[in-house]
Structure 1
Amino acid sequence: MSSEIEKLFTFVEKLVDSDARKVFEALYEAGEELSEADIATKTGLKLNVVRRALNSMAEKGLVVYRRQKHPQKNKLVFYWRINYEGLPSIIESRKRAAHEKLRTLLEKEESVHYYVCPRDGTRYTFEEALDHEFICPRCGSMLVLDEERELRIQILKQYIKMLEDELGGAKAS
């Protein structure tokens, strides 16, 4: 399995859950429409779990379905497939949202100085630290200036650059 496909499966798992990943993998491997019952058989998941995963993925636009009346049972059968046409825009919109969140975090990280509790790692703004007289309200330890601030800023900038490169250099979302 290629790393791109594995990334797609991981994306589905993070966006929905591990059951959805299994369902998505079954649809991918089949390469065609599958009924809910077929998916349940292929994945070993219960039918209600399959339906929940499919509905969650459909809400996010990852899969689409068509309904067809079953000839003998006189009930509707849903046939599901991956929404290949919509996947690129879904992935791009998630990247744009992540890009915006990272830019917001970067702006905050660059504009605010934090103090941290050496015991539990809780971070406090300068104002919060001042209010507590630079003593951790949880454990009573002396708060120290966050020395990892520059590293955090550098990491955020790297992730932002990576997303901008993937989005075609779009600096603003």
Structure 2
Amino acid sequence: MDPVEEVLNNPAMRAYIYRLVGDEGLNLLEKFPKEGEHSDEDLAAKTGINLNSVRHTLYTLYEKRLAEYHRIKNNETGWLTYLWQLRIDHIHDAIREEMEMVLHKLERRIVFEEENDFYICKECHDIYTFTVAIGNDFKCPNCDVPLSHFENEMLVKALRERIETMKKTLGHA
């Protein structure tokens, strides 16, 4: 089976690609010629997809190392032509990098949640740190309703579970 087809038939990988490039990007991948390198203009002409959408998709895929190009210079005009090919075989690395980044953010978030004390407005449901609450005399800065202490234990527990699951998936545990 073609590697692009394989990725697009996998619901999780398709969802990842969709999040990156949207409907038109998926459409381009489905119609991308299987062999050789292609200019963005050729891809737009062959697929019927708007040239700007083709370029946006290619640059987005390039940022994740899922596409690559090389340049050819026309000696007469000095114009550069970019010839593109897909590197969909790098999708596992791209997803891993994304998961590592999310894991790092979750770890920072749990530190924030554990190191702070929180207060909530029962009226507008905004949550404030102790520093903000004390600076406003424990009244909501939006509606002046007294703030109540907010227990974030369930959130911390959920964050811990998610972090552990991700660490196991990534082989960190």
Q: Is TM (by shorter chain) over 0.5?
A: yes
Q: Which runs of 5+ in 1 are unaligned?
A: none
1:161 aligned partner, one-letter code: E
Q: TM-score, normalised by structure 2?
A: 0.75
Question: Partner of 2:86 in structure 1?
Answer: 82
Alignment partner of 1:22 is 2:27? yes
SS of 2:88's partner is coil
Superposed displacement of residue 104, structure 1: 0.9
SS of 1:86's partner is helix
* Contact 1:114/1:124 (<8 A) preserved: yes
**Which of 129, 132, 137 pairs up with 1:133?**
137
Aligned length: 164
Question: Partner of 1:158 in structure 2?
Answer: 161
Q: Distance in 2 between matches of 1:153 and 1:3?
A: 35
1:65 aligned partner, one-letter code: Y
Q: TM-score, normalised by structure 1?
A: 0.75
Question: Partner of 1:58 in structure 2?
Answer: 62
Q: Distance in 2 between matches of 1:39 and 1:158?
A: 44
Runs of 4+ in 1 over 6 A off after TM superposition: 1-4
Percentage identity across aligned positions? 27
Q: 1:36 to 1:109 in 2, by over 3 A?
A: same
1:154 aligned partner, one-letter code: K
Question: Partner of 1:11 in structure 2?
Answer: 16
Superposed displacement of residue 17, structure 1: 3.5
